[in-house]
Every structure is written in C-alpha cells, then in structure tokens.
Structure 1
Amino acid sequence: MKNLIIGLLLLSLSITTKAQTKKIIFEHLTFQEALAKAKVENKLVFVDCFTTWCIPCKHMEADVFTQDSVADFYNKNFINIKVDMEKAEGPALKKMFTIEAYPSYLVLDVEGKIKNKFVGGMPAKDFIANARKGLGTSEEARLNAMYESGDRSPEFMRNYIRHKIKVMEISKAKQLNAEFMATLTPEQKASPENWFLFGQNRYTMYLSDLFSPNFKYLADNWRDFAAKNTKDTVDKKLSSVYRQIVSWTLNGFYVKVKLYDKATYEVYKSQLKKMEMPDKKQLLVMMDIAMAAGEKDINKVTDLFIKHLASFSEDNRHILFDYYTFARTIKGYDFPEIEVLSDEISKSSSNPYLVKQFQSLKERYAPKAN
C-alpha cells in the first residue's frame, strides 16, 4: 500500500510538472530558416517581435504563452520564433514589417508575406483568435493587397488609415493620411466622413495633434469644418489642442518636441483671435501663461493664474496640475504666493483632487503664524 501511494504521488507530480511547463515552442532559427522550415512542414511562421525592456512582452510570455490552449494551437499551426527588435536581424525586420510598438506579432506565409499582424498584450482567447485570422485571409492581408493593387478610393483609404493605426504602424498611417489629403478638395476634407482625421478621438495623438499638418489645416479652416460637423464639435477639438499647448509648456513636454519660440506662440494667439469658441478669452489668457512659462517667468505665471482662474472652466483649470511641475523646475522657488493661489482654487474649483493638491502645497510652503 505504501509503495502504491508513493507511486501515485510521483505520477501526480509528473502530470502537474508537465502541465506547468507546457508553452509555445520558439525555435532557435533565423528568419530565413524559419520560412524554409515552414515550407517543408506546410505551416505558417509566427514571429514574436519584442524588446528586453517591454513589460507587456514579459507578461505575455509568462501568463499567455504558457497556457495549454495557446501552446497547442501555436505549436500545431506555426513555426514560432522570437526576435529581439534591437539585436541581430531584429532592426532589419523591424524596418521590413514597420514594427513601431511592442509586443507586435506577425503571422507570415512561407514567402514572408504578412497574413496577419496584431499588437499589444491580450488574453489567451484573443491571442488565439488573432493568430487564427492568419490561417485565412485576414484584414491585414486583404487591405495590403488592395492598396498594392492601386485602390485609392476614399472609403478604402479611410479604412486603411484606421487599420494601420490599429496595428500601430503610425508612420505608415501618417504617410497614407498625407497621400489621402492630397487627393481631397477643401469641401471633402471638411466632410463628416473625414472628421476622424481631424477630430478629438482615438486617432488624435497620431493624426491631428498640435504639431500635425491636419491640425494646422483645421485651425486655418475651422469655419468649413464647423459648417459640416457642428460648431460645438469643432470648438471642443480646437479648445483641447490649445489647452494642450499650455499644459505641455508647463510640464516641459513641449520643449522635448520643439524649442520654445515666442513667435510661434504669437501665431497660436493669432489663430485663437480669429476663432469663436466659448472659452476663447480664457484660452488667450492661458496662452499668456504658456508664454510666461516658456520664458521661465514663474511670478508672472502665478499672478496670471491668481487673477484669472476663477473665470476658467473646470477643463481649463486642469492645467493647474502642470503648474506644480513647472514651478519645481525653477531653482530655489518656494511658492511665496501659494496661500493666495490655494485659497482661490478652493473657492473656484469643483475638482476635489485639484483642491486637495494645492491645500497640501499650502500646508507645506505657506509661512507659519507665530
């Protein structure tokens, strides 16, 4: 009996160990070797495009690649390889397949043509579903083929731009956007069908942020867009970008992209003066705040906030979160006006987090009564 129990325990341990070690089998092959082996075995090639610093890559490897359903599906259908995009043949493949986000995953045929491409961390069921699309004709392969065959119809170009952003081929999406814009009349650019290229949406940071050609066109032709997309929609987009200018100037992000230049900010003010959004006056004051910040004049920035923040909308008051970041860049600054500023925020703002942050600063920096 004792021997039987020991035997069952060993068998159980063996089964458990086997289950725990099941995972996608990544073969130590070059890219060309993987294609050749896939051809012999009548399989496709799966490429895990990763970097050593990518946290989602590590989570996928530890939590998804090791699930039985994932391992069974990938090992059955693919020759699997992992490629560090920063080493060996990685940079060449990164360029070849426009890899701009990590993790990126490729399903390729034996000629190295993309059958499907998907990006980011995801649960096992989605990871299998995305790879399964590569076994047939995926959206990626279909759209690429249509573009290569010369399809440049407006509906196709809109879908293709959206898709390239979905798979994080941002440089390609921007290239397609420029190509598409060159074919459109002013009336067509302002149409509701094309508003996603200019509006406040998931594509904003890639196609119509502050430094983009699309935003410049929108700022110069906002009346055309307002006539076709409702003025309120256009006003919200414009306000969000000018607010972003101020926020980025205060928190230092702006100068990481483009050096501060007073003349450029005068252009922003000139654009604003020609517009008719409800918070136009607030935005003009905020642009003065941005210019003072660009010139490192912390006293002027503070005075402008104290004088005008009561008239700001809650959305516009949000830039006060960036004020502290800016103030900390001024060597030796000890917030001499923090009591006045904090009290003004407490009276004006309905944002409890903003009020709390400045009350904390007041407690820390305000002179203590004897």
Structure 2
Amino acid sequence: MKFIFQIIITFLMLASVSVTSAQTLSADESWESVKKQAAAEHKLIFVDLYFTGCAPCAEMDKEIFPDPKVASFLSANFITFKSDIMKEEIGKKLSMKYGVTGFPTFLFLNSDGKVIDIASGFKSVDQFTGLLQNAKEAAAKGIFKKYSPQINEKDYPEFYVQAYMANKRNVPIEVIDTYLKSKSISEEVSFVIITGLKAGKQYDDAFLFSSKKLALDYGRSSVVNHIFTILQRKKKEFEKTNDLVAFKKLLEDAKEFYTPEEWARYSDVLLKDFGGTKISNP
C-alpha cells in the first residue's frame, strides 16, 4: 500500500511524508490511522484514487499537486491519502464504497469519514483549488453527503463486492435486477450499484427525475457521470425510431447538470453520428 503523505512545500514540489506502511498495518488500520491523524490535527481528509497507467492521474501528479497554491492549501487543511485502486485493498474498498468508475477520483471527507464531496477527472489548478475551498467551507457549515461514514462489506450484495474487490464486473443483468427491484434508488447501496456498475436500465427515467436530489445526497460527480450513461442508452432507443428531435429535447433537459465545458464535450459525443448520420451541434 502507498504511503500516506502530508503535502508540504519543498522547492515548490510535492513531498510525501510517510505516516504508516502496509508491512505493519492492515488496510482498515491504515485508513483508521488517517482519520485519527486528521482529528488530532483538526484537518479534513483528501483521498486521491488512481491507477498506474492512468494519463490524467499522472498529469495531476506532475502538473497540479506540485503547484505552490495547491500544495500550500492541502498542507494547511488536509491529511492526504493516495491509493492505487488496482493494487491496494483500501483503494478497492473506497472505490466500492462510493461506486467509483472514473479516474482519478477525489474524495473529500472529515475526520469521522463523512463525505463532503466527490469529484473525478483531471482538474486545472483553479478548478482543483476551488474544490478544496468549497470542501473546507461546506465542512465548516456541517454540510455532508448522505453516505454512511464506515466501510462495511456486509452492507453490499456479494456480486457488488466481487465486482470491486475481485474485478468481477461482468455481473448478469438478472442478478442486479433481482436485487434492485425491492430497493429504492435513493438508498446508498442501490445508488452505488446503479452508478458503479452502470446498471438498472429500468430505473433510468426515475434516476433522471430524481437527479437533483441524488446530486445533493451523493454528490454531483457520480450523478452526472451516470446521466451520461443513461443518455447513451437513450440515444440507441431514439435511433431506432430516428427521432432526433425528441432526443435533442432530452439532451436539453439534461444540460442543466453540466458545466458549459462539460456539456460542449458530452453533447458532441452524444449527437455524433446519430442514426448513422453526422449531426452538427449548434
């Protein structure tokens, strides 16, 4: 397991300070030690979930984390924890807990393990410092997401645990549907199963209808990522009837969840070659 490190400014570069090692502590003990350190130092927790070979992850390491403004803010306000989700058990557990699908994924928590926010993908210096500042302000106001603070594998069905812990992600749709049909999409476990496994097609309309509330409860990042998955599925349905007008109406309704930069990128992907015909995006 990667060493837990506290970011400090040294020659304007990111430095890692070893707090504990995998040889002496289990994954659960190491994670608990992070929370204890954050409590002792009256700081929040920043988690960077990545994997070796992830280009935007490497770019964050090279360009963003060493930036003096970023490094200074992290050092002053956060205990930083970094984990390779392909190699380290705690990284897999955290990915399972929050239904992580894109990398890098950033978790912002308090010392009790309560989630302040979740974000994913490469961020510029200004975007990332904005996330850090917003997390600090939300925590000060006591504003947290709905996730439970503890990681307990027994809270999840076995197929979901295996999907993340053993990388067995080809779960039969029937298995997922059987579990979900007696649950509400607003429940934490159901939410991460749907978003983490990109499952629950029959709940797509309900998810879209509840998106604002789900974003408040579980974070905007997970919700907008799944909305994109839903829109990709909807595209195939509208292509069968060649109904571009109705599909564009659906896209217009979904637009509010995205930043202008995100929407320019996602809408281009969704409108490209609709029904085999190249469509321009006005």
CA contact (8 A) 2:106 2:119 kept: yes
CA contact (8 A) 2:194 2:200 kept: no
CA RMSD of aligned residues (A): 4.3
Identity score, percent: 22
Residue of structure 1 in register with 2:212 after alignment: none
Q: Secondary structure at the match of 1:122?
A: coil
CA distance in 2, matches of 1:178, 1:142: 32
Matched, 1:79 2:79: yes
Structure 1 residues 176 and 75, CA gap change in structure 2 (3 angstroms): farther
Deviation at 1:220, TM superposition (A): 6.8
Tell me the TM-score normalized by structure 1. Answer: 0.40
- The alignment partner of 1:63 has SS state of helix
- Over 3 Å counting, the alpha-carbon distance change for 1:25 and 1:183 in structure 2 is closer
Query: Offset at 1:23?
Result: 2.2
Conserved? CA contact 1:100–1:170, under 8 Å: no
Aligned residue-pair number:
183
**Cα drift, residue 176 of structure 1:** 7.8
Pair 127,170 (structure 1): closer, same or farther in 2 beyond 3 Å? farther
* 1:57 matched residue in structure 2: 57
Assess if the C-alpha contact under 8 Å between 1:102 and 1:119 holds in 2. Answer: yes
Q: Which is richer in helix?
A: 1
Aligned to 2:82, the other structure's residue is in SS state strand
> Which letter maps to 2:53?
W
- Asked whether the equivalents of residues 45 and 108 of structure 2 are also in contact (C-alpha less than 8 Å), the reply is yes
Deviation at residue 36 of structure 1 after TM alignment: 1.3
The answer as to whether partners of 1:24 and 1:75 remain within 8 angstroms in 2 is no
What 5-or-longer segments of structure 2 have no aligned partner?
1-8, 21-29, 148-184, 186-190, 210-224, 251-269
Quick check: which has more Rg, 1 or 2?
A: 1
Amino acid in the other structure paired with 1:52:
T
Which of 208, 212, 215 is the matching residue for 2:231?
208
Higher relative contact order (CA 8 A, sep 6+): 2
Question: Shift in Å at residue 137 of structure 1?
Answer: 2.5
Please, which runs of 5 or more residues in structure 1 have no aligned partner?
Answer: 1-17, 147-156, 158-163, 189-201, 231-236, 244-312, 317-370
| Paired letter, 1:242 | G
When residues 173 and 64 of structure 1 are mapped into structure 2, their CA distance, relative to the original with a 3 A threshold, is same
2:205 pairs, out of 152, 169, 181, with 181
Q: Is the 8 A contact 1:26 1:80 kept in 2?
A: no
Matches within 5 A, 1:1-370: 20-23=11-14, 25=16, 27-29=18-20, 30-88=30-88, 89-137=90-138, 144-145=145-146, 171=195, 178-179=202-203, 181-182=205-206, 206-209=229-232, 212=233, 214-215=234-235, 217-218=237-238, 226=246, 229=249, 240-243=273-276, 315=278
Q: CA deviation at 1:38?
A: 0.7
> Taking structure 1 as reference, are residues 239 and 62 closer, same or farther at Cα in structure 2, changes over 3 Å only?
closer
TM-score (structure 2 length as normaliser): 0.51
Whole-angstrom CA distance in 1 between matches of 2:80 and 2:137: 18
